[in-house]
Amino acid sequence: MVNEDLEKIAVVFEPQGRKVEVKKGMTILDAARVAGIGIRSDCGGLGLCGKCLVIVEDQLNLSSTSNVELQHIPVDKLRKGFRLACQSIIKGNVRIFVPHESRLETRKILSEGVGRHFELDPAIRKMQVNIPRPNLHDITPDFERLCSVLRDMGFTRIEMDHELMQKLPIILRRADWKITVTLWMEREVISLEEDGAERAFGVSIDVGTSKIVIHLVNLTSGETVSIKSMENPQITYGEDIISRINYAVLREDGLRRLQELVLEAINTLIDEACREAGVKKDCVYEVTVVGNTAMHHILLGYNPKQLAIAPYVPVVKQSINVKAKHLGLKVNPFANVYVLPIIAGFVGADAVADVLASGIHEADEVSLLVDIGTNSEVFVGNKEDIMSCSCAAGSAFEGMHIEHGVKAVTGAIEKIKIDPRDYEVEYKTINDAKPIGICGSAMVDAIAEMFKCGIIDHRGHFNKNISSKRLRQENGVHKFVIAWREESGAGRDITISERDIQEIILAKAAIRSGIAVLMKEKGVREEGIDRVYIAGAFGNYLNTESALFVGLIPDIPLDRVRFVGNTAIAGAKMCLLSRKMRSVADNISRTIRYAELTVHPMFHKEFIDALIIPHRDLSKYPTVMKYLKESRRLNE
């Protein structure tokens, strides 16, 4: 008798034409993961986001449409065969079409950031040594013989891994006692080579929630010889940190699976970078890693459960050194992996790297540093004292909970301008492709432009008195058309609804309230901020004027605002190339003060005030007030 639970069925995914055999009873989303088909699942397959839409014309072998699907899928789409991949259970052979807007596409990944000048002093030293041969009058053991030579060169405390020690006698004699020795921190022998090559390389890694970036670096010259990046494959198990933590904690082998995915991705990137640069992976002698606290824990195999439960305590705060072979990185097995320290449960090693690369910890002037993302980090201060906080901005800037929201992929609308005379829209898409949706930077543009033109009010509600074919109502929801169906690559009008606007306002309020709390804690007013640094991929494509008009950043002269790119990878690379920078990173982690917003007495009021465009207290935004007065829209 056939066990139905183990019965295999055939699933074909189009337009990829990929066929896979899976167990009966799997969801379409799980089958897609088995097939290696990327389907958006921003909520991790919990049925909350509605982004995993697929089309199944013959649904005989699928479960019935669930209540969750009825909530997310309009009636007209249900009639066309649309289903949610995370909710649809496969009962037999089926063919599934994954529409463009549901596919995980390669996005624009910001792989470089601004760094500072520092003295080149890596932890790796590579040198050729000649070792005296033993004889009947000198029977000093091999390791002590090597240590004696190194001691004469100034290296007094030498150690070696057991596995490498096993290879020592063979290598010494095969090389005729002339070898190339690689030292880590001037104390541990991590490589013994027979040839005389003196090239030494390292890798810096930024493990982000959305993307992974690596830099392959020549440790002698400090030159970056290859940069590689890719989407974090964990994204199929959830768009945000909490979804990943839930998967790691609640699923059997969930943590192991997430760790395997990120390690496989990193090893793939290292392999690509080494092949491109003509570097042997055995010549990669050190790795530095940054990431938010959840990514940090998952990479190291630490249970992240407590990060999602108050008081959000991490397993460890200090920097970590671990052998590459123990972590599973495919470089020299004895290479050291240095993981930068963290600050708090939601202010991770990437944030430490942000501070290190921006240099705000050494500046006399007061700076505001904001790394905008799903979990945004904010810093206010200077060399005397810096305060930090974490802002739960959510994934709205990544397109989650936005009806036509997409990531920064080809065809995403990334810039928007609206003519105040006739409300006509000009937009720019990534790679000038037909528009398929709206990415975060364009959502901020759109809200700022609609506010300037009087299309929406201070609360983000549409002005029903304006006359425009672009403003309409669907199923009781007011929407504004950005791109018409005829010009769209998605086969439909691309719109922004009041619900979408509220999602962005909530995200900006989370960040703006965090900024306000830290400014008040530090006793700093807007005019007292000398410099604003905006880090991260989203920030790099943000229009500063739009950010100011919606109230995402304080109203300060825009010439004080500087986009610094991926400072996380820049900081990781600084630690790769300088031992001193590691000490500085450790000090940053120890000395920066952290404010937990959820229990801060000022947070609730600041958050409520920031739900207004640009802010409940308009006096904080004189630039916006001036514009509104000149356009005669301010009720005085």
Task: Note the pLDDT tens digit of each residue in 151-206.
Answer: 988 898 899 999 999 999 999 999 999 999 999 999 999 999 987 667 899 999 99
> Quick check: 1 pLDDT over 50?
no
Are 284 and 408 in a shared domain?
Answer: no
Task: Note the pLDDT tens digit of each residue in 309-333.
Answer: 999 999 999 999 999 999 999 999 9
Are 142 and 183 in a shared domain?
Answer: yes
pLDDT of residue 4: 46
> Quick check: 555 pLDDT over 60?
yes
- The tokens for 635 are 């009720």
Are 379 and 318 in a shared domain?
Answer: no
Q: Is residue 110 part of a domain?
A: no
Q: Is residue 1 part of a domain?
A: no
Count of domains observed in the chain: 5
Are 241 and 306 in a shared domain?
Answer: yes
| Residue 486 Cα to chain centre, angstroms | 34
Q: Is residue 2 part of a domain?
A: no
Are 43 and 83 in a shared domain?
Answer: yes
Are 483 and 545 in a shared domain?
Answer: no
Q: Is residue 614 part of a domain?
A: yes
Report the CATH number at residue 184.
3.10.20.880
> Quick check: 461 pLDDT over 80?
yes
Q: Is residue 252 part of a domain?
A: yes
Q: Is residue 499 part of a domain?
A: yes
Element (H, E) at 261: helix 254-277
Query: Is residue 236 within 8 Å of residue 98, measured between CB atoms?
Result: no
pLDDT of residue 39: 87
Q: Which domain-ending residue is among 504, 532, 564? A: 504
> What rounded mean pLDDT belongs to the chain?
91
Are 408 and 298 in a shared domain?
Answer: no
Mean pLDDT is lowest, of 300-314, 388-402, 593-607, for 388-402
Q: Is residue 370 part of a domain?
A: yes
Nearest of 269, 150, 140 to residue 216 by alpha carbon: 269
Query: Is residue 539 within 8 Å of residue 113, measured between CB atoms?
Result: no
pLDDT band at 504 (very low <50, low <70, confident <90, very high): very high
Q: For every residue of 522-543, which 3-state class applies, written as one string?
A: HCCCHHHCCEEEEECHHHHCCC
Q: Is residue 152 part of a domain?
A: yes
Task: Note the pLDDT tens digit of each residue in 267-293.
Answer: 999 999 999 999 999 999 999 999 999
- For 261, 302, 335, 378, the CA distances from 375, given in Å and listed in that order, are 21, 20, 31, 10
Task: Note the pLDDT tens digit of each residue in 9-59.
Answer: 889 888 777 788 888 888 999 888 888 788 887 777 778 888 889 999 889
Report the CATH number at residue 570.
3.30.420.40
Are 86 and 227 in a shared domain?
Answer: no
Are 79 and 52 in a shared domain?
Answer: yes
DSSP-based three-state secondary structure for 129: strand
Are 605 and 528 in a shared domain?
Answer: yes
Are 304 and 158 in a shared domain?
Answer: no
Query: Is residue 91 within 8 Å of residue 22, measured between CB atoms?
Result: no
Q: Which domain-ending residue is among 504, 531, 554? A: 504
pLDDT of residue 309: 93
Are 249 and 166 in a shared domain?
Answer: no
Q: Which domain-ending residue is among 141, 168, 193? A: 193
d(CA 569, CA 291): 9
Task: Note the pLDDT tens digit of each residue in 135-156.
Answer: 898 899 999 999 999 998 889 8
Domain that holds residue 296: 202-349
Q: What share of the chain is helix, strand, coil (3-state, %, to 5)?
A: 35, 25, 40
